[in-house]
């Protein structure tokens, strides 16, 4: 009798779990997902670099840049900071910009080029703000080095 009751309870619990699991809310999408994963992020960053090299305020910094390499590093970095399955293996921000004497105005110009690219790629404003919010703390490591 005891055994029968225990089996009934176990079966009941299993049934309850089987019913509840599909009701569990899906895991929240990361910013990486919302930006369209690697293809979406790549489009935004390649277009951003396109705007930068055409931007009279900061283009001179990139006169001798290895653009494909830079694009690759940027994609890995943004993929990583937005919660995507990437690892950034490039230089630290301080090391990458050492000796460039980048100013706050230069930094803001780059952010404007990023905004221009996100608008072109129809990234919704709340997502734009989240990405800019993740990059803003890099102002210190990137500037006045």
Q: How far is the CB of 94 from ligand HEM (least distance, A)?
A: 11
Cβ 134 to ligand HEM shortest distance, Å: 9
Instruction: Please name the helix (run of DSSP H) or strand (run of DSSP E) that holds residue 49, with its range, or none.
Output: helix 37-52
The residue count for binding ligand HEM (CB under 6 A) is 21
User: How far lies 29's CA from each of 33, 35, 38, 145, in Å?
Assistant: 6, 10, 14, 36
Could you please report the per-residue DSSP string of 103-142?
-HHHHHHHHHHHHHHHHHTT--HHHHHHHHHHHGGGHHHH
- Which residue's beta carbon is nearest to the bound ligand HEM? 90
- 71 makes contact with ligand HEM (CB under 6 A): no
Nearer to ligand HEM, 86 or 135 (CB): 135
Of 96 and 127, which has the nearer Cβ to ligand HEM?
96
CA 4 to chain CA centroid, Å, is: 55
135 binds ligand HEM (CB under 6 A): yes
> Does 74 sit near ligand HEM (CB under 6 A)?
yes
User: Under a CB-based contact definition with an 8 Å cutoff, are residues 44 and 96 in contact?
Assistant: no
Binding to ligand HEM by CB under 6 A, coded x per residue (else -) over 92-111, reads ----xx----x---xx--x-
Is the CB of residue 80 less than 8 Å from the CB of residue 86?
yes
| Candidate residues 61, 84, 115, 131; the one interacting with ligand HEM per rule CB under 6 A | 61
Structure tokens at 122: 């129809």
Q: How far is the CB of 120 from ligand HEM (least distance, A)?
A: 18
């Amino acid at each position: 009798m005891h055994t029968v009751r225990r089996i009934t309870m176990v079966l009941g619990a299993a049934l309850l779990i089987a019913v509840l699991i599909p009701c569990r809310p899906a895991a929240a999408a990361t910013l990486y997902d919302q930006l369209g994963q690697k293809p979406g992020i790549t489009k935004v960053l390649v277009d951003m670099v396109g705007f930068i090299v055409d931007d009279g305020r900061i283009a001179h910094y990139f006169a001798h840049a290895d653009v494909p390499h830079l694009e690759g590093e940027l994609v890995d970095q943004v993929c990583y900071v937005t919660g995507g399955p990437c690892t950034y293996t490039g230089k630290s921000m301080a090391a990458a910009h050492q000796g460039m004497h980048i100013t706050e105005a230069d930094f803001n110009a780059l952010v404007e080029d990023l905004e221009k690219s996100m608008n072109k790629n129809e990234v919704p404003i709340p997502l734009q703000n989240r990405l800019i919010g993740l990059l803003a703390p890099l102002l210190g490591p990137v500037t006045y080095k």
